Amino acid sequence: MKKRILYIGNKLSQSEKTTTSTIDVLSNNLEREGYEIVTASSKKNKFLRMFEMLYTVLFFRKNAVCVLIDTYSTQNFWYAVAVGNVCRMFQFPYIPILHGGNLPERLAKSPNQAKKLFHGAKVNVAPSKYLLHAFIDQGFQNTICIPNTIQLDKYPIKQRIHVVPKLLWVRSFAEIYNPFLAIQLLERIKALYPIATLCMVGPDKDGSLQKCKEYAERKKLPVRFTGKLSKEAWVQLSSDYDIFINTTNFDNTPVSVIEAMALGLPVISTRVGGIPYLLENRKDALLVPPNRVEDFVDAIVSLCSNDALCKSIVKNARDKVEGYDWEYVKHSWIKLFGD
């Protein structure tokens, strides 16, 4: 008989405003390993979503091994709190999966609810060493690290002989990810490399997309906005570009960066949140301070003018992401469910 696992989170990837999330990827991977996965919720209305999450736990708990709970730092934190309360009431084991570079701030902002939720868990799963250390430092010793994962064979590496400023940005358009910095960066780098272009992939979350479009149009900048794309579509599109930029102000362990590393795209990223735990400057990426256009420009020039550095970064990055392949990571999940 298959082991049943409940997975509670925002299963909203069908929405034009939401990218594929952990609940989509991990639940599919676990199903392929022979588990029965019951997920909730795909309801767009927040109150209906909460109701379905709680109902799923109450209705299916007797025949399940445990419940996984995607846990974020913003308003969605309260979904995890509510589900955790129900699980503890019925002594049902639950495992929060920690998302978002701002979770340490949430620990300080909501200490009582955080203690109940995370101390009461069977274990907390951090996808990065950044959150692992942050939680252990706050006394949550029941925290382990299982990284975000990709299926490496779906990411063909492209060998680039020489890179030019053909820039790729993949993320939701939200202020915390600072998409406007990418537009400013293109404007600046075009003064040095007239052939520079930028492609921005992702849905709009808070109106940031329109701001970027209006500025690019006003300045006549060569920016391609694709909107939300399927994983397969943006992977295919990536072969037309040479450098991946991650402009975010807050981060944990972004899967898009891991995917770029797998594809052989040299990565330039801000040095924020969990990024320094994922990337090592001048070894497998170039790291710059947040909100610094000139530092990004200098990093692009370094890649375009130093083929040896670029090739070294690409090779080291690809070697690193082999540790994020599902065939490697799955053993940690299987062990966790077997305990």
The secondary structure of 191-252 as a DSSP string is TT-TT-EEEEE--BSSSHHHHHHHHHHHTT--EEEEES--HHHHHHHGGG-SEEEE--SS-S
pLDDT, greater one: 207 or 12? 207
Residue 47 has pLDDT above 90, yes or no: yes
pLDDT tens figures, 122-172: 999 999 999 999 999 999 999 999 999 999 999 999 989 899 999 999 999
Say how far apart CA 255 and CA 274 lie, in whole Å: 12
C-alpha R_g of the chain = 20
pLDDT tens figures, 65-117: 999 999 999 889 999 999 999 999 999 999 999 997 889 999 999 999 999 99
CATH class of 152-323: alpha beta
pLDDT tens figures, 274-314: 999 999 999 999 999 999 999 999 999 999 999 999 999 99
Q: Are 79 and 49 in contact (CB under 8 A)?
A: yes
Model confidence pTM above 0.85? yes
Asked if the domains at 4-146 and 152-323 fall in one CATH topology, the answer is: yes
- Mean pLDDT, the chain, integer: 94
pLDDT tens figures, 215-240: 999 999 999 999 999 999 999 999 99
Question: What pLDDT is stored for residue 14 in this prediction?
Answer: 61
Q: Taking each helix axis from N to C terminus, what angle separates 255-262 and 307-321, rounded to the nearest 10 degrees?
A: 120
Q: List the domain boundaries for the chain.
A: 4-146, 152-323
What is the CB neighbour count within 10 angstroms for residue 125? 23
Per-residue confidence band for 19, with pLDDT thresholds at 50, 70 and 90: low
Cα torsion 100, 262, 18, 143 to 10°: value is -30
Task: Kindly indicate whether the domain formed by 4-146 is annotated with CATH number 3.40.50.2000.
Answer: yes
Q: Are 246 and 269 in contact (CB under 8 A)?
A: yes
Alpha helices in the chain (DSSP H): 22-32, 46-60, 77-89, 103-109, 111-119, 129-137, 179-189, 208-218, 231-237, 255-262, 275-278, 293-305, 307-321, 326-338
Residue 16 has pLDDT above 60, yes or no: no
Say how far apart CA 265 and CA 222 lie, in whole Å: 20
Per-residue confidence band for 63, with pLDDT thresholds at 50, 70 and 90: confident
Say how far apart CA 181 and CA 288 lie, in whole Å: 13
Question: What pLDDT is stored for residue 248 in this prediction?
Answer: 96
Provide the token pair at 190: 């075009």
Q: Are 125 and 98 in contact (CB under 8 A)?
A: yes
